Chains A and B, each alone.
Chain A
Amino acid sequence: MIRSEVIAERVERALIKANTEMNPEILSLLESYEGPFSDTLKENASIARKTGLPICQDTGFVEFFIFLGNEVRLEEPVDRILDSVVRKVYSERPYRYSMVRDPLFERENTGDNTPSICHISPVIGRTLEIRFLVKGGGSENLSRLFMLSPTATPDEIAETIVNSIREGVARGCPPLKIGIGIGGSSEKAMLLAKFALTREFGERNERDSYAALEERILREVNDLKFGYQGLGKGITAYSVHIETFPTHIAVLPVGLAVDCYISRRGRVTIEG
């Protein structure tokens, strides 16, 4: 049995860290950036760390990817535990509440940044793994789904992704992290793309063909030279991550998800 408070304590710590501490790899890249707003961006990282203020005012919605071992026993449903964590962290700290209850008519703020978005996958074993993204609206709006022809080539996929980034990147906050889901159904491709954003920057797809496609798309996106803040200086993307799933003979879904320049994410693993 994994007790709720053990999960809550671990996830709480990770969620606070994601909101207030810049990833060291991003910080070291930022050090070499000289261009518009470079001083303010560098200053921001140290102020957030010192004061506990979040790195970005858009403290996002929290999206969890949960891998729940079949031998793990919990005291209550895992999404309920995670919503309590989000409620606690966002209520106790100077983080923005960005969730509205009804998406179309009232759009009234829920007042505690819940619900979070939980994707639960059953796996074999005694381990509970929780990955999460703190996802702002600006990068989320750059998400796209492309239902390509099943005869589409890797060239066409690369072109589709690069064109979409070219069209949208200057409305987001580059440098971006790019997640791509290939295969499955329409929503599966989007979910894979989003999950790909939980990967480490240096993680490459285990198949050489896809790893090469990741590197190629990254190179082509960086050749666009949008740079930090979209103003032409420095890199445009940190990394590209592809996830795949078997698909139907008549379809080739390609999902695109991007994360912003601060790429807030976390990962907690607990043995049951």
Chain B
Amino acid sequence: MKVEDLCAGDELIYCGELIIMRDAAQKRLCEALDKGNVLPVSLKDKVIFYAGSAKPTEGSFGDIGPTTSARMDPFLEMLYRLGVKATIGKGKRGRLAVDLCREYRRAYLLAPSGAAAALAERVVSLEPIAYEDLGTEAIFLAEVKEFPLYVAIDVSGSNVFDLHIDRG
């Protein structure tokens, strides 16, 4: 996925690797950086998916779907400094996130929310790679196929939530 080529409003199908993390893991990464500790994972050139999966079954790695990205805005600059090239989640992000996408030339994409059983079928592999004690909030490495995505904020700072909706 070439981040520079994505335009707000584009729909795409993604196949490849995702690093999954959310609130608790990002808070812990931030604390580790503050203390000068070595991080347990490298995030350089990674795509982050804000999610927390449900339990696996015999036939699948379990339900998976995006959580509200706006909650992750305070950690976005940390991710960009660590080399993250895009984030995926659900919903509108704040002004801070839009400015950071423009400044660092990074993108924010949406995955469908309320579609976690359908997304479960598109997960090829899923394994925890750090902070396993956090359970569903641990950091996971996933391989996905035919994952439907929608570009919400592109590298120029165009934001689909401003483009599509006339808020009077």
List A residues at the B interface (Cβ < 8 Å): 36-37, 39-41, 43-44, 47-48, 51-59, 93-98, 107, 109, 111, 137-138, 141, 166, 170-173, 224-226, 229-232, 260-262
Contact = CB atoms under 8 A, between A and B. Distances in A.
A185 B161 CA distance: 36
Size category of the binding interface on chain B: 35 or more
B120 A53 contact: yes
Given A93-B55, A173-B114, 16 more contacts: A41-B114, A44-B112, A44-B117, A44-B118, A44-B119, A55-B116, A56-B65, A95-B55, A96-B53, A111-B135, A138-B68, A171-B68, A172-B91, A224-B165, A224-B168, A231-B164
Contact of B115 (A41, A95, A138, A230): A41
Given A44-B115, A58-B65, A97-B135, A170 B54 contact: no
A51 B92 contact: no
A257 B91 CA distance: 18
Interface string B132-156: 0001100000000000101000000
A142 B136 CA distance: 23
B1 interface: no
B167 A96 contact: no
Given A94-B55, A96-B136, A56 B63 contact: yes
Q: Which 6 A-B pairs have the closest CB atoms?
A: A170-B92, A232-B164, A37-B112, A57-B116, A44-B118, A57-B63
Interface of B: 11, 24, 51-57, 59-60, 62-65, 67-68, 70-71, 90-92, 110, 112-121, 135-136, 148, 150, 160-161, 164-168
Nearest to A231: B164
Contacts of A166: 167
A53 B59 CA distance: 10
Contacts of B64: 57
Nearest to B116: A57
Nearest to B152: A231
Contacts of B53: 57, 96
Contact of A53 (B67, B71, B116, B161): B116
Contacts of B67: 58, 137-138
A225 B168 CA distance: 10
A53 B113 CA distance: 15
A173 B120 CA distance: 19
Contact of A57 (B51, B135, B160, B168): B51
B55 A44 contact: no
B68 to A, nearest CB: 5
A56 B90 contact: no
Contact of A141 (B65, B68, B164, B166): B68
A173 B136 contact: no
